[in-house]
Amino acid sequence: MTQISVTVNGVRNEADVEPRTLLVYFLREHLGLTGTNVGCDTSSCGSCTVLLDGESVKSCTLLAAQADGRDVTTIEAMAEPDGTLHPLQDAFHRHHGLQCGYCTPGMIMAAASYLKENPAPTEQEVRESLEGNLCRCTGYQNIVESIMDAAGHMSGVKA
Amino acid sequence: MATMEKLVGQAVLRKEDPEFLTGSAKYTDDLSVPGMLWMAVVRSPYAHARIKRVDVSEAMAMDGVIAAFAGSDFEWAGPLLMAWPVTEGLHNPLHYPLVTDKARYQGDGVAVVVARSRAIAEDAVETVKVDYEPLPAVVDMHEALSDDSPLVHEEFRTNESYTWANVQGDVDGVFADAPVVVKEHYKVHRLIANAMEPRSILVQPNPAAEQFTMWSSTQIPHILRTAMAIATGVPESKLRIIAPRVGGGFGSKLQVYPEEALALELARRLRMPIKWTESRSEGYTATHHGRDQIQDVEIAAQEDGKILGYRVRVHANMGAYLMIIAPGTPVLGGFLFCGCYGGVAYKTEIVGVFTNTTPVDAYRGAGRPEATQAIERAIDALARRVGKDVVEIRRMNFMPPFTEATQSIGGLMIDSGNYPATLDKALGLFDYEQLRKEQQARRDNGDTKQLGIGFSTYLENCGWGPSRVIGGILKYAGGGWEAATIRCHPTGKVVAVIGNTPHGQGNETTFAQVVGDDLGVPIEDVEVLFGDTDVAPSGWDTYGSRSAAVGMPALHRATSKIVEKARRIAAHELEVSDADLKYEGGTFSVRGAPSVTRTIPQIAFSAWRGHDLPEGTDPGLEESAFFDPQNLVFPFGAHICAVEVDTETGEVEVTKYVAVDDVGPVVNPMIVEGQVVGGVAQGIGEALYEEAVYDENGQLLSSSMTNYAVPSATEVPSITTGNHVTPSTTNDMGIKGVGETGTIASPPAVLNAVVDALSHLGVTQVERPATPEHVWRAIRRAKGGRS
């Protein structure tokens, strides 16, 4: 067992994990944060995207131990404590950017990270930024629209 | 009371969104219960191998392993359900959750282990010793039908499962006399659905009561309940199946899977909760595949291109076993090889073939995309042959517009249709003439980026389905009705219970729109419940674009019964006769005295108290209704696609896509557009990128998401949609289905565009999917070089 200390959504968690535990399973099974989904076993789909020290990462690509001493944000912490949706969440709702919802947390986390890097992207740039995140329902069109719209609402808003 | 704006027809935002947006939605793999054990399946690495011995002793000796069993350790009450024997003499192998004699595809289950954690179970699988005797495998359908082929199921002495035929008119006579006969050969490649949520199952036993709750990532909890009772002998009355949030299906979760029966049986045997979640790569062989047909298509026509007849022979790959509706999947397209065109003779013959591959069954569109790609590509071939424009050839062959059910040459009674109208509308959105000019300019310049335009004026059949019809000529074992219950609570809130099981379609919103309008209650006050056989005990679930076409009319019938009962109570309270009451927008008002009213919530309160109900009226305001349609519904439309093809690399880019669909009156345009756009994107994936590939030994080469190309955001364009409304005559609401139209219509539009881009080079066909390699080879072939 490996002892780790990971801050997740502002809460510090000390835990003993098997060395082979992936970050995504640490989040889902140890912390019960099941909003982060697993859609593949080859780091292809991006469903498990979270923020690590503010930058998006596929949480199946690193071990929980690699997150030791670091700060993780998951979809569960995107809305305000009073329930007010994050501009990205709100935009996905208004633009019908989700159907089955399985890829949605990963899409939102990837977009949150990308918009910090590029607050005013073109449509093509948004599409390119999503290359690591697969959706099977929407054809991406409304996801792209959601992100473009959120970008316009997000200056100065936390990501 | 102010008249509320109608909800139906509005782009109402989805009620279900918040839980998905915030990560609180619970899919099956998100669930755990105390004491839960993990199941893992030992799978054959060979496509065909005799199983000589299975030794689980090493697994049993591992720390944390609770149990391990070989196939021969189980005695099943019955086989896994195959519900669609399309012909009398169909060969249907008995299919059990684990094999005992031989493995028939790579991934076939041989043994099972149960352990305290997922990781231990997966480790234990590696220690199970199976002594395999590899046998020659057969993958290719024509080879499978040859005399010296290995047999997937020896008992049948053939790999042919069935031959189904639909013959209308004097086919051979028409073909013998026709001045023009076009012959095309198409390979409709194999696909993997790739719903983003992998399959997952959790079974919680209540051993003392012998009751079981199964959560499964399924489209069909109701059918699954019956199928589990057949396979395991657990009575249906002791079985509760819940499909919690389900992360997409596309037909791949319209199935009764070995793992579902195994998890239930192990929970019974071990008296402990059992969980299983497939890894994506495991699912690539363990979750059924889609499509996989070889089509020989002939069209007989006059010299001017007027079609006289259709003659089609299809070989449909079933894979190693017949899954729940596998034989019927190609048959769903067996009436549609004429598309929306006329003629005097029609024949489709479908041969179902066993091979040593993962079983094939429904994938979004199920049979109709296959038929549509055949007719829509073949009519382009006819246009080339007789020298007509692809728009003109379609126009001259369309069935004329009709508003009453009309017989097609394929043998269907089509509810209504107006094929020129959707084509006109699509052309209006596309700028056809301008793009043709640009195409000519690029050809004249010898540009390496050539422009192509492709059409697909499709017709499909869905809204599964009229029980009498599907159980009659189609020989389907199940029914196709839907069941709804409406419960009006005393506080004015309404619960609508429905037997459909949505998994991304937005039914919580669209169904609430219908109920809200019918009962005059705000959409926030309507809760739609589904997907749990204890909550919604009756229904036939979600597939075949049936939720709107069959589920909504069922809801509408139930609300009508509510209104009927409420009218009696309102009349009693207002001391008038039933006939003196006018009902509009949820309010009864007395004719001539419009301020004297009762609303549905007011009546619900009266009915709950029961203090003063009319004589002979039961308390409560709750009604159930069943709806069994008399016919299928027949959406149609016109899709037009523009592509750029790089003649040097073979690369294809979709540059413009217009989809105009007629799905009857639209309940929620936002959701309908979402279904169309998502379906078109999936169809573009089918046409250009995705393919499940086996080697000759039956090893799946496209074995994980890294080598199966699910399209990403840069590979699908923005899609322009338009709609046209021709009400269906099948149900009172005029509604048709929309869940599959995009996937049915789009592949031939894309493929026709690719061929069109290269037609001046002599290219007349490109192999699916139109990958750079296939396109490059098509160009080489046309130039007379070796492909």
pLDDT tens sequence across B383-429: 999 999 999 999 999 999 999 999 999 999 999 999 999 999 999 99
Task: Tell me the shortest Cα–Cα distance from B29 to chain A, in angstroms.
Answer: 9
- What is chain A's Cα-based Rg? 15
Q: Each residue of B630-654: pLDDT tens digit? A: 999 999 999 999 999 999 999 999 9
DSSP letter assigned to residue B150? P
CB B686 within 8 A of CB B191: yes
Q: Each residue of A43-88: pLDDT tens digit? A: 999 999 999 999 999 999 999 999 999 999 999 999 999 999 999 9
* Residue of B712, B715, B721, B738 to mutate when probing chain A, most A C-beta within 10 A: B712
A34 contacts in chain B (CB < 8 Å): 23, 26-27, 29-30
Task: Tell me the shortest Cα–Cα distance from A69 to chain B, in angstroms.
Answer: 24
CB B285 within 8 A of CB B43: yes
Q: How high is the pLDDT of residue A159? A: 44
Residues of B numbered 631-670 whose beta carbons fall under 8 angstroms of chain A's beta carbons: which are they? 670
CB contact under 8 A, B195 and A136: yes
Structure tokens at B92: 């249907």
B193 contacts in chain A (CB < 8 Å): 136
CB contact under 8 A, A45 and B14: no
Facing B194 at nearest CB: one of A128, A132, A136: A136
pLDDT above 70 as % of chain B: 99
Q: Does A78 touch chain B (CB under 8 A)?
A: yes
CB contact under 8 A, A139 and B504: no
Cβ neighbours for B93, distance < 8 A, ≥ 6 positions apart: B152, B153, B155, B156, B321, B322, B354
Task: Tell me the shortest Cα–Cα distance from B508 to chain A, in angstroms.
Answer: 12
CB contact under 8 A, B674 and A135: no
CB A62 within 8 A of CB A22: yes
CB contact under 8 A, A33 and B678: no
Using alpha carbons, list the distances in angstroms from residue B612 to A159, B18, B600.
58, 41, 16
Q: How high is the pLDDT of residue B255? A: 98
Torsion sign over Cα B546, B550, B554, B559:
positive
CB B106 within 8 A of CB B166: no
Q: Does A92 touch chain B (CB under 8 A)?
A: yes
B248 contacts in chain A (CB < 8 Å): 99-100, 102, 136-137
Facing B504 at nearest CB: one of A33, A99, A131: A99
Coil, strand, or helix at residue B73? helix
Coil, strand, or helix at residue B492? coil
Helix axes B390-397, B419-430, angle to 10 degrees: 160
Counted residue by residue, chain B has a size of 787
CB contact under 8 A, A96 and B670: yes
Q: Is the pLDDT of residue B587 over 50?
A: yes
Task: Tell me the shortest Cα–Cα distance from A121 to chain B, in angstroms.
Answer: 15
DSSP letter assigned to residue B401? P
CB contact under 8 A, B279 and A142: no
Residues of B numbered 111-130 whose beta carbons fall under 8 angstroms of chain A's beta carbons: which are they? 119
Euclidean distance between CA atoms B716 and B559, whole angstroms: 41
B746 contacts in chain A (CB < 8 Å): none
CB contact under 8 A, B280 and A41: yes
Q: Nearest-CA residue of chain B relative to A36?
A: B23
Task: Tell me the shortest Cα–Cα distance from B509 to chain A, in angstroms.
Answer: 12
* Residue of A28, A44, A102 to mutate when probing chain B, most B C-beta within 10 A: A102
Interior angle at CA B344, CA B338 and CA B348, nearest 5: 45
pLDDT band at B182 (very low <50, low <70, confident <90, very high): very high
DSSP notation for chain A = -EEEEEEETTEEEEEEE-TT-BHHHIIIIIS--TTS----SSS-S-TTEEEETTEEEETTSSBGGGGTT-EEE-GGGTS-TTSPPPHHHHHHHHTT--SS-SSHHHHHHHHHHHHHH-SS--HHHHHHHTTT---SSS-SHHHHHHHHHHHHH-TT---
ipTM of the complex: 0.97
* Residue of A85, A137, A144 to mutate when probing chain B, most B C-beta within 10 A: A137
Q: Is the pLDDT of residue B786 over 90?
A: no
For the purposes of burial, counting CB atoms within 10 Å of the CB of B349, is it exposed (0-12), middle (13-18) or buried (19 or more)?
middle
Task: Tell me the shortest Cα–Cα distance from B22 to chain A, in angstroms.
Answer: 6
CB contact under 8 A, B674 and A96: yes
CB contact under 8 A, B706 and A42: yes
Q: Is the pLDDT of residue B473 over 90?
A: no
Per residue, what are the HEC states of B672-722?
Answer: HHHHHHHHHHHHHHHHHCCCCCECCCCCECCCCCCCCCCCCCCCCCCCEEE
A49 contacts in chain B (CB < 8 Å): none
Q: Does A37 touch chain B (CB under 8 A)?
A: yes
Measured in whole angstroms, how far is the alpha carbon of residue B330 from the centre of its chain?
12
CB pairs < 8 Å spanning A and B: 180
Facing A96 at nearest CB: one of B14, B250, B718: B14
CB contact under 8 A, B21 and A92: yes
Q: Does A20 touch chain B (CB under 8 A)?
A: yes
Q: Is the pLDDT of residue A158 over 80?
A: no
What is the average pLDDT value for chain B, to the nearest integer? 97
* Residue of B13, B19, B22 to mutate when probing chain A, most A C-beta within 10 A: B22
Q: Nearest-CA residue of chain B relative to A107?
A: B21
CB atoms within 10 A of CB B264: 26
Q: How high is the pLDDT of residue B3? A: 53
Q: Each residue of A90-130: pLDDT tens digit? A: 999 999 999 999 999 999 999 999 999 999 999 999 999 99
Q: Is the pLDDT of residue B283 over 90?
A: yes
B719 contacts in chain A (CB < 8 Å): 139, 141
Q: Nearest-CA residue of chain A relative to B195?
A: A136
CB contact under 8 A, A38 and B706: no
Residues of B numbered 479-518 whose beta carbons fall under 8 angstroms of chain A's beta carbons: which are they? 503-506
Mean pLDDT of B165-185: 98
Residues of A numbered 108-147 whose beta carbons fall under 8 angstroms of chain B's beta carbons: which are they? 108, 123-124, 126-128, 130-144
Q: Each residue of B242-276: pLDDT tens digit? A: 999 999 999 999 999 999 999 999 999 999 999 99
- Output phi, psi for B69, to 5 deg: -135, 145
- What is chain B's Cα-based Rg? 28
Euclidean distance between CA atoms B249 and B543, whole angstroms: 9
DSSP letter assigned to residue B271? -
Task: Tell me the shortest Cα–Cα distance from A3 to chain B, in angstroms.
Answer: 19
* Residue of B21, B27, B707 to mutate when probing chain A, most A C-beta within 10 A: B21
Q: Nearest-CA residue of chain B relative to A38?
A: B197
Give all strands (DSSP E) within B391-509, no chain letters.
406-407, 413-414, 449-459, 482-488, 494-498
Q: Does A39 touch chain B (CB under 8 A)?
A: yes
Facing B22 at nearest CB: one of A29, A42, A89: A89
Q: How high is the pLDDT of residue A153? A: 86
Task: Tell me the shortest Cα–Cα distance from A15 to chain B, in angstroms.
Answer: 18
Euclidean distance between CA atoms B13 and B509, whole angstroms: 8
Facing B13 at nearest CB: one of A34, A89, A93: A93
pLDDT band at B2 (very low <50, low <70, confident <90, very high): very low
Cβ neighbours for B444, distance < 8 A, ≥ 6 positions apart: none
Q: Each residue of B339-398: pLDDT tens digit? A: 999 999 999 999 999 999 999 999 999 999 999 999 999 999 999 999 999 999 999 999
CB atoms within 10 A of CB A54: 12
Q: How high is the pLDDT of residue B782? A: 95
